Amino acid sequence: MGVADFILALLQDMALAAIPAAGFAMVFNVPRRALPYCALLGAIGHGSRMALMAAGINIEWSSFVAAILIGTIGIQWSRWYLAHPKVFTVAAVIPMFPGISAYTAMISAVKMSHFGYSEDLMILLMTNFLKASFIVGALSIGLSLPGLWLYRKRPRV
């Protein structure tokens, strides 16, 4: 894949990630003036995760770094626009949730309960369950770390 192809794929990924970020922001009753920022932050987060994955970093660590980026930008925007950081960050991180891994794990569990135990199904179940769990954990921790770093109370000397 050439550089131009990668940039086009990255822009397409970012545009497609902005749509659910804005949609979830509307579900969460985010103020209308904040919707474009939620969409932009969702695009930035998903695009950074894609770029990191293209650089050879696995999806768990890429999601972690992208969530830290989303949290940091969300805190800065919250200071500029006088809103809570969650207004921007929660909807922006949702497009990175591991729907396919969680769905595959669930379907494997259903197949195992219907057809009985199979080593292949158990491997598929555990692999996808752990992958989805680690991604969700990375998103949660990554989103909370900037707030812990930036809002930490400094001891008085």
Structure confidence by residue, pLDDT tens digits, 54-112: 999 999 999 999 999 999 999 999 989 888 889 999 999 999 999 999 999 999 999 99
Q: What is d(CA 49, CA 13) in angstroms, rounded to the nearest whole number?
A: 10
For the whole prediction, is pTM greater than 0.85? yes
Rounded to whole angstroms, what are the CA distances from 127 to 5, 43, 105, 116, 133? 31, 28, 8, 18, 10
Residues 6+ apart with CB under 8 A from 29: none
Answer yes or no: are the C-beta atoms of 152 and 75 closer than 8 Å.
Answer: no
